[in-house]
Chains A and B, each alone.
Chain A
Amino acid sequence: MEREQIRERLASAASMPKDVVMGASVVTMLGDFEACIENYRGIAEYTDSLVRVQTKGGQIRVTGRRLQIEYYTNDEMKVTGKIKTLEFIDGRNRE
């Protein structure tokens, strides 16, 4: 945890983008029907009501209805459908 904090301070001191320095994932929401996720490791689970995406620090949980992955590449994915919630789960604490 020490290292994480140092990194965060460094990033804010040098005003560098945190997604690059800390490997934080970038989630862009457009209304409640589109979510664009960048900086992730992979898909952990995918049904039409739940998408779990593994990231560096934990998981992102998107729930909703008729969820569909419009495209899926190495650095970006787009989820469309009726999105209800978006949660960040600390993977390590949970395991």
Chain B
Amino acid sequence: MIRSFVRWLRGYVRLCVAGYSPERFLNMCCFHQLFIWGLEPTGKGYGMYMSVRDFRKLKPLVRKTHTKVTLEGRYGFPFFLARYRKRKLFFAGLFLCAALVWGYSLFIWDIHFEGNERYPDTTLAEFLKSEGIAPAMLRSRVDCPGIVKAIRKEYNDIVWVSASIDGSRLKIQVKENEDTFPEEETLTGEEAPSGDDSGQKGTPAVSDSREERPVDLVASADGVITEIVTRSGVPQVHVGDAVKKGDILVLGRVEVVNDSQEVIGYQYHSSDADIFADTQMEYTDTLDLAYQEKVYDGKKKYQPFLRLADWTVSVGSVRNKYEHSERVTEETQVRLGENFYLPFSYGMKCVKSYSLVERKYTEEEARQLLSLDFKRFCEDLEEKGVQIRENDVKIHLYENSATASGTLFLNERITEESDTEILTVERKETDESVGTDD
């Protein structure tokens, strides 16, 4: 395949050799390293193919062997060019094509993101656009280290970024921090807690100031403590203790006592602990058995359209006199590659007519719907890290409604932050000692 392409590129000819001893001619060709292929006997002599370069060396051999060589055909690229040499526009097109390919390759046409799960492509693309990086920009203007820095600065929980140019595509690979708990995510965004171990360069000043704010941990719900791991602060409860909502679990205030066990001052900390407790939660979900169902009667109207910036062309109309109708518009914006959107879109408007019919769920349907809802509720809880130990949720059916109700027995993290009460020690000398302690 490649060999025949190379032959075509260099050009080759078909010869017919006739005369007294064409075999001698063949052997001499061989001897002089002239490559022959497609050799076949014809009526008068032999037909064969030979490259143009070899054909030029043939003259002395022909004279020596007294054979007659006739040229039967010319093939390949050099002959193709020679045949069409007068078609100037064709060559101009060829040149223009090459020039355009080169010209277009100077620009970035696509931005590709990899490894992002929490931040969608569009979010990252918008951020890059605000940084002045968008498709159709010059390749030479792209500053990869700058992009990396900007992304690391903007997004705290992207722990690794790499930007590289791959042809005319800007490839951005990111690695998100997967260790942060979903509950702590809100904290990560707002106040960079000490639990965030991503080691951001830009944040220590902030976290320092936060650490100084004294914080207690209080119970966010009633329950019985099952596990307590304290990292800072003074625990106020033990495993097995029953706590009420608002009770202090870990105190952020540490007493400083002197040799005679008198309190002479306080040190304040931001408390940090993992505390799990068995809690209970009431669950009720009511479903009306009567409902209205949409029955489509098959009447539809379509209106396809093309949109170029603010200018729209459409065919047909969706105006109607239906009593109830549903309108669906689908619009697709044309794009090159993954993230280069053109100001051009197409779509379809569709109106469907329907009528409302009063229906009633059967017992079985109501049961299914309620248990599906309950299942989803449980999945949501488990996603938040709550463990469900037991539940006694039952479904009760009434004349016009159905209810699922009962109690869920859970095991969950019950800590909530609240400011520590600042106490002052009245004696004068202790105030000084507090000052020296700090």
Contact = CB atoms under 8 A, between A and B. Distances in A.
Interface of A: 41-48, 68-74
Contacts of B27: 41-43
Contacts of A74: 30-31, 33
Given A43-B23, A44-B23, A45-B23, A69 B40 contact: yes
Given A42-B23, A42-B26, A42-B27, A47 B39 contact: no
B298 interface: no
Given A72-B30, A73-B30, A74-B30, A46 B35 contact: no
Contacts of B31: 74
Interface string B120-162: 0000000000000000000000000000000000000000000
A48 B317 CA distance: 75
Interface string B19-36: 000010011011101011
A71 B36 CA distance: 6
Residue from A44, A48, A72 whose CB has the most chain B CB atoms within 10 Å: A72
* B30, B35, B36, B48 pick with most chain A CB within 10 angstroms: B30
Contacts of B374: none
Contacts of B39: 46, 68-72
Contacts of B38: 68, 70-71
Contact of A46 (B29, B33, B41): B41
A56 B29 CA distance: 19
Interface residues of B, number: 16
Interface in B7-57: 23, 26-27, 29-31, 33, 35-41, 46, 48
16 contacts: A42-B26, A46-B23, A46-B41, A47-B41, A48-B40, A68-B38, A69-B39, A70-B37, A71-B35, A71-B37, A71-B38, A72-B37, A72-B39, A72-B48, A74-B31, A74-B33
Nearest to A71: B37
A45 B33 CA distance: 20
A72 B36 contact: yes
Contact of A43 (B26, B35, B37, B40): B26
Contacts of A44: 23
Contacts of B41: 46-48
A61 to B, nearest CB: 14
Given A72-B26, A72-B30, A73-B30, A46 B37 contact: no
Contact of B40 (A41, A45, A68): A68
A48 B41 CA distance: 6
Q: Which of B35, B36, B37, B40 has the most chain A CB atoms closer than 10 A to its own CB?
A: B40
Given A46-B41, A47-B41, A68-B40, A73 B35 contact: yes
A85 to B, nearest CB: 18
Contacts of B40: 48, 68-69
A47 B30 CA distance: 18
Contacts of A48: 40-41
A47 B35 CA distance: 20
A24 B27 CA distance: 19
A76 to B, nearest CB: 10
Contacts of B36: 69, 71-73
A42 B30 contact: yes
Nearest to A68: B40
A59 to B, nearest CB: 13
A27 B31 CA distance: 20
A37 B27 CA distance: 15
A46 B21 CA distance: 11
Nearest to B26: A43
Contacts of A47: 41
A73 B35 CA distance: 6
Nearest to B25: A43
B39 to A, nearest CB: 4
A52 to B, nearest CB: 9
Contacts of A70: 37-39
A47 B38 CA distance: 14
Sort A-B residue pairs by CB-CB distance and give the 4 closest, nearest first.
Answer: A42-B27, A69-B39, A71-B37, A72-B36
Contacts of A41: 27
A46 to B, nearest CB: 6
Contacts of B33: 73-74
A73 B36 CA distance: 7
A46 B37 CA distance: 14
Nearest to B35: A73
Contacts of A42: 23, 26-27, 30
Contacts of A45: 23
A68 B35 CA distance: 16
